[in-house]
Copies of this chain bind each other. A is one copy, B any other.
Amino acid sequence: MTDLPQRRFVTAAEAVAESTTYTLNTWLSRPDLLPCEELLLVRATMDPGKCHPFHHHPTREEIIYILSGQAEQWCGNQRRILHAGEMVLIPKGEIHGTYNPFQEPVIFLAILSPANAAEPSTVDVSETEPWASLRQGLPTCR
Contact = CB atoms under 8 A, between A and B. Distances in A.
B61 A8 contact: no
Given A29-B63, A65-B28, A90 B38 contact: no
Interface residues of A, number: 43
From DSSP, what is the main secondary structure of chain A's interface residues?
A: strand
A56 interface: no
Contact of A89 (B29, B62, B91): B29
Given A61-B36, A63-B29, A65-B28, A10 B87 contact: yes
Interface of A: 7-12, 15, 26, 28-29, 34-39, 41, 43, 60-63, 65, 67, 73, 75-76, 78, 80, 82-83, 85-92, 109, 111, 113-114
